[in-house]
Amino acid sequence: MQLPLTEEQTPSPPPRTVTFEQPLNERLRVFLRLEFLYQQAVHHRDIADAWGMRAAIQSLLEIFAITSRGDPKADVIKEVERRLRLLNEYQNKPGVDGTRLRSVMNQLLQRRDALQATSMTALAKLRDNEFLAAIKHRSAIPGGACEFDLPGYTHWLRLPDETRRADFAMWLSVLQPLCETVQDLLWLTRENVRAREEIALKGNFHFVFERDTPIQLLRISLPADCGLHPEISGGLHRCSIRFLQWADAQNRATQTTEDIPFVLGCCN
């Protein structure tokens, strides 16, 4: 019979960490915003009340605003093609899990095909939807989406939950191929990370990137209970990080003067 572990022998759980991210180019900034808004829309959609649906609609409208600038569909497809080329180069390398690699590549190919099949006409019609356009227009005014400003919106919010969800699912389905492809691309970016332990002397850390290895995303990991958060400023060639000590919501955070150990992740 195996004896129970004594208190001294009981393994302690690994320390919990929090990670802060900083994009280093405009494409990653757009991708991270789309990921955030899509997750927020899906979260609030599943709250079965009018307030949850209001928040979901607001996230949907903000996704519209992002996708109305430039050509996000072309940018995402271009990034998918780049990732596929990089993954293809790994197929003949020793030590690579070929089954896992093919699974990831097939997933990306399916995302690309679904995105290419998405009609830009459908997206344009969605942006021109009079019901949503009225909400977007009035939402620019503080409190402009309240009952007396948008009685039609209020009526829709009082419809049965399944009716509202069906409408919202139809609108979100037009954006789903784009947003889910972005989520997969960001997962690949985060997985393609070189992480190392560093120390910020007196709360400051500066470093220069290798010119032949462009970095798209920085990830700063800290113990969850350290009471610190990083302020990151970076560009294509260099980055500066300073760690701020949280006080409370009524007082401004101040830079720590302690040496701060952290994990720096550089994602290609």
The answer on 156 and 31 residing in a single domain is yes
- Distance from C-alpha of 202 to C-alpha of 178, rounded to nearest angstrom: 43
Once rounded to an integer, what is the mean pLDDT over residues 147-166?
A: 94
The answer on 249 and 133 residing in a single domain is no
Query: How does DSSP classify residue 46?
Result: T
Read off the tokens for 75.
């940018």
Task: Return the pLDDT at 2.
Answer: 42
Question: Angle at the Cα of 26 (from 45 to 208), degrees rounded to 5?
Answer: 125
pLDDT of 214 above 50: yes
The answer on 202 and 119 residing in a single domain is no
Among residues 190, 219, 236, the one where a domain terminates is 190
The band of 1, judged by pLDDT with boundaries at 50, 70 and 90, is very low
Q: What is the pLDDT of residues 216-258, one digit of tens each?
A: 999 999 999 999 999 998 777 889 999 999 988 899 999 999 9
The band of 12, judged by pLDDT with boundaries at 50, 70 and 90, is low
Task: Return the pLDDT at 10.
Answer: 52
The answer on 30 and 99 residing in a single domain is yes
- Distance from C-alpha of 170 to C-alpha of 134, rounded to nearest angstrom: 18
16 in any annotated domain: no
Task: Return the pLDDT at 112.
Answer: 94
Among residues 146, 161, 190, the one where a domain terminates is 190
CATH code of the domain covering residue 252: 2.60.440.10
Q: What is the pLDDT of residues 63-100, one digit of tens each?
A: 999 988 888 889 999 999 999 998 888 877 887 888 88
The answer on 171 and 262 residing in a single domain is no
The answer on 43 and 32 residing in a single domain is yes
Range of the domain at 204: 193-267
With 0-12 / 13-18 / 19 or more C-beta atoms within 10 angstroms meaning exposed / middle / buried, residue 170 is exposed
Q: What percentage of residues in the chain have a pLDDT greater than 90?
A: 69
11 in any annotated domain: no
Please name the residue that has the structure tokens 């919501």. 249
The answer on 135 and 74 residing in a single domain is yes
Q: What is the dihedral of CA 204, 224, 39, 76, to 10 degrees?
A: 40
Could you tell me the CA-to-CA distances from 44 to 26, 38, 49, 113, 185 in Å, in that order? 27, 10, 9, 28, 23
The answer on 30 and 117 residing in a single domain is yes
Q: What is the pLDDT of residues 25-71, one digit of tens each?
A: 999 999 999 999 999 999 999 888 999 999 999 999 999 999 888 88
Q: How many CA atoms lie within 13 A of 258 on its CB side?
A: 11
Residue 128, helix vs strand vs coil: coil
- Distance from C-alpha of 184 to C-alpha of 190, rounded to nearest angstrom: 10
The answer on 232 and 174 residing in a single domain is no
Q: What is the dihedral of CA 115, 121, 62, 29, to 10 degrees?
A: 40
Count of structural domains, the chain: 2
Q: What is the pLDDT of residues 158-210, one digit of tens each?
A: 999 999 999 999 999 999 999 999 999 999 999 989 999 999 999 999 998 88
Question: Angle at the Cα of 249 (from 246 to 251), degrees rounded to 5?
Answer: 70
pTM greater than the 0.95 cutoff: no
The answer on 135 and 213 residing in a single domain is no
The answer on 69 and 168 residing in a single domain is yes
